Amino acid sequence: MASYSAKQRDPLLDSKLQAAIERRSKELIGIGMVVTGILVAMLLASYAPSDPSWLSASDQPVQNWLGRFGASIASPLYVIIGWGSWAIPAVLLVWGARFATHQGEERALGRLIFAPIAIALLSVYASTHVPSAAWTHSFGLGGLFGDMVLGSLLGIMPIGAALGLKIISLLMMVAVIAMSLFVLGFTVPELKRFGRFLLVGVVMAYAGLMTLLGKSASGAAIAARNVQEKNAQRKERARIEAERTAAEEAALAAVPTPIQRNAATLRAEPMVAPEFEEMPAEQPAKQGLLARMPSLIKRTPDPEPELVEQELDPDFYSEEIGEDRIKARISDAIRMRARQAQVATAARAEPQVTRRRGPQPLILNTEPPLQAPAEPQMDAAQPQDPMMFEPVAPASPVVQPAVPPKPVVQHAPRKAPAPSTQAKAEAQPKLQFEEKHSDYEHPPLSLLENHVNIQRHQLSDEALEQNARMLETVLDDYGVKGEIVSVRPGPVVTMYELEPAPGLKASRVIGLADDIARSMSALSARVSTVPGRSVIGIELPNEHREKVMLREILSTRDFGDSNLRLPLALGKDIGGDPIVTN
């Protein structure tokens, strides 16, 4: 049987062009993965718990860098896997770089299939760490998944929780490192090259550091040498100056001491009568007392102290001396004159005993004469009372009145409920002169136990305030900032009113109900908002619950004298008031 062979067509593109297209496609895929990894890292880095998302509704502005879309993706990731979500951008960035540089892209399919395992291990490892104060969620750093797996592992381990947590953290760290290297496509040769690169980098960094330290040391040595040379030069100059000063002092010692005269301003000479020259003046007419007053009250002004220069020996200037000797003498004379000026200034200036000849100018002194106040005349027979000083008491410090703290415990006004007509009739029975017949007669309330005999347990105000402060501490441990502004004790439960800090969401406090009950050693806790107020109510059961008696509710006017067709006694509210409904 004859067979016909079909002629094969030539490919549309040759092998080189196909290889080039394949390479460019891988590069585009790598660039896309790198861009996607950067975007995922941005939305994870800018995550805020208050952003609106699929799991929470909020009217606050979106803080995520990618807007509402980024917040809708970041919130589920953090809630489910926590910090394990950071493995997603790491995988995208590394494999994007591999595709773009054509380094091991053929291993992508076999390695990326294990990426979810690496993400799960990282989530569990994050759950082993204690969250910081900035972490506002009720779950750990590994999200709900990490907390669930970690709790299961701790439950099956036969050792304590603290030791088991450390062992699990160590094992998870090793597993995360190994699985991450495998998922990111690293091989043994690549790890060796990477280790060699790190080793060379460390050696080069060490060598550069040592070179820098050597240059610094050499610079420091040069600087120290320069400082030492400067010190030596300074010492040499000081020595030369000291020798020159010693030579000058020796030369001055050889010069005879000049004769000095005592200054006239330091010692007063005997007073000599002043001599006046005759002045040709006309003899005035007879003057009165007022005309002679200026001459009587005129006082001679004090003369200024006179400085007396020293007279030096004439032979002192006649000696033939050199130029250096002249300079030394000039400087010594200047020093001596400055010393004399200081002595003359410090000494007491005495009035001059002589004055110059000639008439003195007549100057009217405008200053009034100094007169001592006249002493009052005292009778010699009159005794003088001793001076009495009244002790002055020190001013007492002003003490601000202490403002009493606002009481936290607020007791509701307890008024006895108004009794019904039947209760009044049973309490004070009347004489029945006539028999009354009615279609239905209610059973007497005395069949029920009397509520007067019930023992009521109620904590003191100090104990309630202590519990309020303890509750504030518990809330602060969970990152809830606020203040307990009121405590309302009831028969069964006690309500603590929390004034939250600005910006605190009520849902966050409501979600801590179980944790609050555990920390306060209570059976349960109920947390809810108070209608019409800005506080959050936290109800904790009392240690000793007050028994609510049915007779106490049935004997009230709300039940016995109400217009309800079928009244139903429900119990008491938190304030102890009876509640009756239809």
pLDDT digits (tens, 9 = 90+) for 130-184: 998 888 888 999 999 999 999 999 989 888 888 999 999 999 999 999 999 999 9
Kindly state the average pLDDT of the residues 79-95: 94
Q: In sequence order, what are the beta bridge partners of 568?
A: 581
pLDDT at residue 577 in the model: 77
**Least confident piece of the model among 204-213, 267-276, 360-369, 514-523:** 267-276
The C-alpha angle with vertex 350 and arms to 347 and 353, in degrees rounded to 5, equals 145
pLDDT at residue 381 in the model: 44
pLDDT-based confidence at residue 252 (cuts at 50, 70, 90): confident
Sequence spans of domains, the chain: 15-186, 189-246, 457-546, 547-581
Rounded Cα–Cα distance for residues 77 and 44 (Å): 9
Rounded Cα–Cα distance for residues 116 and 183 (Å): 9
Residues 6+ apart with CB under 8 A from 83: 122, 123, 126, 141, 142, 143
- pTM for this structure? 0.39
Q: Which CATH architecture has domain 457-546?
A: 2-Layer Sandwich (3.30)
* Residue 130 identity: V
Higher pLDDT, 187 or 378: 187
pLDDT at residue 265 in the model: 46
Q: What is the mean pLDDT of the chain?
A: 76
**Least confident piece of the model among 90-99, 172-181, 282-291, 396-405:** 282-291
pLDDT digits (tens, 9 = 90+) for 276-309: 444 544 444 444 444 555 554 444 445 544 444 4
Contacts of 470-475 with C-beta under 8 Å, sequence gap 24+, read 470/520, 471/496, 471/516, 471/520, 471/538, 471/540, 474/516, 474/519, 474/520, 475/509, 475/512, 475/516
